[in-house]
Chains A and B, each alone.
Chain A
């Protein structure tokens, strides 16, 4: 387990990412209104999200429920098709639909290990099928299956092949689900909240397995989670989403130690942390906005303690605030570029400098 080795805090050098989502947008049609005025409205679950997964790295996608993080993972897995933007594999756009060759490259692990394995199939079936579909079994399918089970630390493998999912514990099931994803020897693993349904005492085991897959097999891993502490532990890069949009991207320890976006700061102050000396003061209470009628400008502005006039009118650009660290916030835009510059805004900005640790980045 070489989490510390990956630790070096230098952001991954920008080679072509294995898998990339560019400007991904997804809306769902929902019923809106009541009675006579009921109609369908568009719910913008994901709005213009760009995310890149490089080989041998874990990218964490962090956000609250409804932030669109799972939808992004599903678009990358091509379970659902984006309404805008494109998915690129090795820099080449992937055609619509779901070609089998794509399944060879990109695999997914689901949140609920109790739901992601069909209760009527034995463990061996789950692992043999992908091998058969993609003609990967080689001469000895059984040996391949046992090797997969060993890879996810289910030993001795013979004890597991015949079993049904209900005979396994949650952690063991999630390991089987990971083994199934690994069976086609993919290059990208999309893990959608893989530990949130598991008991706390076995979560680290799964996270360490993912870290091991990254280090040994050079997999590009997307780790979708709402738990920022586990993202910090596992990931090289953390991408924070709010209300369907990316608000901040940074190397993981940098993001948790020097959060730049007010929402990230809020998220961090709310996370359980027994080491904290004082009870946290939440900056920006309230709930995420409706995605049917999202706020204009920055979607966080109604909750933001540092909101300025421009925040409610214009969506903030992505601003580089440090090495590999980008924040979508007007606070970080040079004041000369901001259009309305009335005294109120300047005051707000001055008072907010204390909340901008990234203004003085480390090193």
Chain B
């Protein structure tokens, strides 16, 4: 709103109502809180990770072993020693968690904790960059198609349908192998992921815009002379916000999967090559699988990146569920009712189609009840 509203509000403050005076109330759902907390932890890790990282993720901290064999074969004693190899051979075995390496080491003696810390930022940057760009694309295409209708709708719908129809991973692989910079730059890879992930959100937004565009309040804005862009931005888009947020989370989730897959396939660069690609959780998993670490029981190597992917995915899903409840009050109401019932000490089996009867005969409320003195009545 361009007009100064603050002075408009100078009048007496309206009586506070139970619902509060905001159009969109922040949902205090446990799902949303949990999702936000997990995401915040990873955000912090992404920011400070490289700073607090104890080692360089590439640093090969090789352990050497000098094998002394006494009296015949089969009875060899290995002596492990850090430092200069002199008569020592490299020990090609990952070491478990220790005080020096909280999450153990890789086969090459690289610190897993440091790798994890350095991999968080690129992974999240790619995920959220792809999420943002894809959402922007889907808004641009979906909302325009829905609002404009006609041939514009047909063209834009065709475009998004084409992108929906092309299998995502092969397209990703092709793009990642041919686009220059895909192996070194998180920006380039983020854009590639975005390009393959916007179409679904655009379909959802188009459908919702279609239902919004003939709502009375949009027509009322049209009748009062509002321009087209203004109607899209100020009347339609705010009502799409929950869906846009949901679509963003969904695309981000997709982007993590896509980026990890690309890296796992070796298409997102190698940190040790030149030019070096970024560390990420997919690369870590790739190295794990290359060295058969899952089968040989080196859990400290493969579990951390796996858990990180799962946790970020969970947090995004939790947020999405929370938003879902927020959009669809029916999902919310059931939970609240049960909870309130329990709180009120009413234990009943809520069967569909049989209204519960609670309490004994309540004394009829026949005199003074309530306190509000008819504010509705005086409003006219």
Name the residue on A nearest B9 (C-beta).
Answer: A162
B positions within 8 Å CB-CB of A: 1-3, 5, 7-12, 14, 17, 19, 21-24, 215-226, 234-235, 238-239, 376, 379-380
Closest to B22 in A: A164
Q: Are A110 and B220 in contact (CB under 8 A)?
A: yes
Q: Is B225 touching A117 in the complex (CB atoms < 8 A)?
A: no
19 A-B residue pairs with Cβ-Cβ distance under 8 Å, sorted by A, are A107-B223, A111-B216, A112-B216, A118-B218, A118-B238, A119-B239, A120-B238, A124-B8, A130-B224, A133-B225, A145-B8, A158-B10, A159-B11, A159-B14, A167-B19, A167-B21, A172-B379, A180-B220, A180-B224
Q: Is A3 an interface residue (CB 8 A)?
A: no
Residues 81-112 of A contacting B (Cβ, < 8 Å): 98, 100, 103-104, 107-108, 110-112
The verdict on A1 contacting chain B, using a C-beta distance below 8 Å, is no
Asked if A32 is at the interface (CB within 8 A of a chain B CB), the reply is no
Smallest Cβ-Cβ distance to A161: which chain B residue = B8
Q: Does A150 contact B (CB under 8 A)?
A: no
Given contacts A129-B224, A141-B3, A205-B380, contact A120 B23 (CB under 8 A): yes
Which of B225, B235, B238 is most buried by chain A, counting CB atoms within 10 A of its CB?
B225
A148 at the interface (CB under 8 A from B): no
**Neighbouring A residues of B220 by C-beta, 8 Å:** 108, 110, 116-117, 177, 180
Contact call B21/A79, Cβ cutoff below 8 A: no
Nearest B residue (CB) for A117: B217
- Cα A119 to Cα B216 in complex, Å, equals 11
Given contacts A118-B235, A133-B225, A162-B9, 6 further A-B contacts (CB under 8 A): A108-B220, A117-B217, A119-B23, A122-B23, A159-B11, A169-B376
Given A124-B5, A162-B21, A115-B225 contact (CB < 8 Å): no
A42 at the interface (CB under 8 A from B): no
Question: What total of A-B pairs shows CB separation below 8 Å?
Answer: 117
A125 to B235, CA, bound (A): 11
For residue A184, CB closer than 8 A to chain B, the reply is yes
Complex contact A164–B225 (CB within 8 A): no
A residues lining the B interface (CB < 8 Å): 77, 79, 98, 100, 103-104, 107-108, 110-112, 115-122, 124-125, 128-130, 132-134, 137, 141-142, 145, 153-164, 166-167, 169, 171-172, 177, 180-181, 183-184, 205
The CA of A110 and the CA of B217, in the complex, are separated in Å by 9
Task: Check if A158 sits within 8 Å of B12, measured CB to CB.
Answer: yes
Closest partner residue, chain B, to A125 (CB atom): B1
CB of B216 within 8 A of CB of A110, answer yes
Q: Is the CB of B224 within 8 A of A115?
A: no
Q: Is the CB of A118 within 8 A of B217?
A: yes
Measured CA separation A336–B245 after assembly (Å)? 73
Closest residue on chain B to residue A99 by CB atoms: B225
Expressed in whole angstroms, the Cα–Cα distance for A141 and B5 within the complex equals 10
Cβ–Cβ contact A118 & B239, under 8 A: yes
A residues near B239, Cβ cutoff 8 Å: 118-120
Please tell me if the beta carbons of A79 and B238 are within 8 angstroms of each other in the complex.
no
Give the residues in chain A near B22, CB-CB below 8 Å.
164
Which 10 residue pairs are nearest across A and B when measured between Cβ atoms?
A158-B11, A103-B225, A116-B216, A115-B216, A118-B217, A110-B216, A130-B224, A120-B238, A120-B23, A142-B8
Q: With A115-B217, A118-B235 as known contacts, state yes or no: A167 contacts B376, CB within 8 Å.
A: no
- A122: which B residues are within 8 A, CB to CB? 5, 23
Instruction: Give CA–CA (A104, B379) in the complex, Å.
Output: 30
Known: A120-B24, A124-B5, A158-B12. A103 touches B224 (CB 8 A): yes
Return the contact of A100 from the options B2, B215, B225, B238 (Cβ within 8 A): B225
Chain B nearest Cβ from A138, distance in angstroms: 12
Residue from B19, B219, B234, B238 whose CB has the most chain A CB atoms within 10 Å = B219
Is there an interface contact between B17 and A133, defined as CB atoms closer than 8 Å?
Answer: no
